Every structure is written in C-alpha cells, then in structure tokens.
Amino acid sequence: MKIGIIGAGNIGHTAARLFVKADHEVAISNSRGPESLRDVVSELGEKAHAATVDEAAAFGEVILLAVPWSKPEALPNAQTVAGKIVIDAMNPYKPGGGLYDLDDSTSSEETAKRLPGARIVKAFNTIWYKHLAEQGDVSKPEGQRRAIFVAGDDADAKAIVSDLIRTIGFAPVDTGSLHEGGRKQQPDTDIYNKSLTGAEAREALASV
C-alpha cells in the first residue's frame, strides 16, 4: 500500500518505520520540507521518500495525520485528500498543555470538518509512540497482540485501516462511529494509553 505521512515526529517517524518494514511504500513530510528529512529517509530505506505535505498527501492511498491537532495549517490541502482514506492520529492537546473543550464534538469530527470529503478513520490515538515502536508482533495471533483502536463512519475505510494495522503486528479493535467511537478514544478515557491485548481491549470497551 502507498502511505502518505504528514508529520515526521514521534508518531509519524515511528509509523513510517513500521510501514516500510511491512513492505508498504511511504512518502513522509514535515513542516520544514523534504531536505530536512534526508537522514530520516536514509534510515527508512528505499521504500521511503521525503516529500512536501501536499506531495505526501497526493502519493498516499492512505494518509496518516501525525501533526499537532492545534495546528490546522499543518494539514494537507483538503482537495488533495478528498475521497482518500485519512487516518487521524491527532489528539486535541493545547500547545501549552491540557485539552481543548470540544463540547459534544470530538477531535476527529473536527478534523473531518477541516478536510471535507476525506474518509476519516481515527486510529493510533491511544498508543504511546514507544509502545507503537516496540509492541507490534506479527507472529502472535490477533487476540494476543496489542490493540490499536479504530473508529469511523466509512466501513470500507475502517476495514482497510484495520488490515494495515494487522500488517504491522497489532490487533485492530473497532470502537464504533467517529462520534461515539471517537469519544471512547479520547485522552480522558479508560482505554487511553493502556497496553491491552485485542481480547482485553474488547472487554474493556464494554465499560467505556
């Protein structure tokens, strides 16, 4: 699969490593431009190349958003990702710390408003990047793998992202729609940043 990664920090770079290891092709971008990613792509190897944000978005069949939620200017052009599967890994932290109060909305619903037409799937939000780097294991059966939660309103997009998650050794666990399932993945819930197996995660969801 061709994956465009927006953000080359903790989550973007870590995900890029896992995706190339699983034989996907990656275009990775940041705020400072492709030249600044020379070392990153040389470490990632021939399955990866550096790009601008909009080039990475154009390249990907799937796009991963791994920039600060508080910086909408960091997102690709909405027209470039319209109709594409866009994974929203961003959590709504304020630049100085603390969370934005979104009232009845959730951060990925707000992302969907910022990128109209994109097929938004919320995923990778509840896993710390070091756990993402270390806890995937393709040799384990799914129930024993670390869970990565997915939410969204587009069932086909969610299925494709779930398969992508399987290729990097994790167990996708569906929390539901972007609204209700997204709420369950927010930073203040009981499943946030918990090392749960797929089986444990399904049990834990019953009480969230």
Using CB under 6 A, list all residues that contact ligand NAP.
Answer: 7-12, 30-32, 66-69, 71, 73-74, 89-91, 93, 124-125, 128-129
CB of 36 to ligand NAP, least distance (A): 6
Closer residue to ligand NAP, CB minimum distance, 100 or 129: 129
CB of 141 to ligand NAP, least distance (A): 25
Q: Are 132 and 14 in contact (CB under 8 A)?
A: yes
For strand 171-176 and strand 85-88, is the pairing parallel, antiparallel, or unpaired? unpaired
Helix or strand run (H / E) with residue 59: helix 53-59
Closer residue to ligand NAP, CB minimum distance, 23 or 129: 129
Q: CA-CA distance, 66 to 186, in Å (whole number)?
A: 16
Q: Are 27 and 44 in contact (CB under 8 A)?
A: no
Q: CA-CA distance, 37 to 127, in Å (whole number)?
A: 24
Q: Count of residues for the chain?
A: 208
CB of 71 to ligand NAP, least distance (A): 4
Q: Are 160 and 187 in contact (CB under 8 A)?
A: no
CB of 117 to ligand NAP, least distance (A): 21
From the CB of residue 146, how many other CB atoms can be counted at a distance below 10 Å?
22
CB of 12 to ligand NAP, least distance (A): 6
Closer residue to ligand NAP, CB minimum distance, 35 or 206: 35
Residue nearest to ligand NAP (CB): 9
Q: CA-CA distance, 124 to 91, in Å (whole number)?
A: 10
Closer residue to ligand NAP, CB minimum distance, 38 or 71: 71
Closer residue to ligand NAP, CB minimum distance, 124 or 170: 124
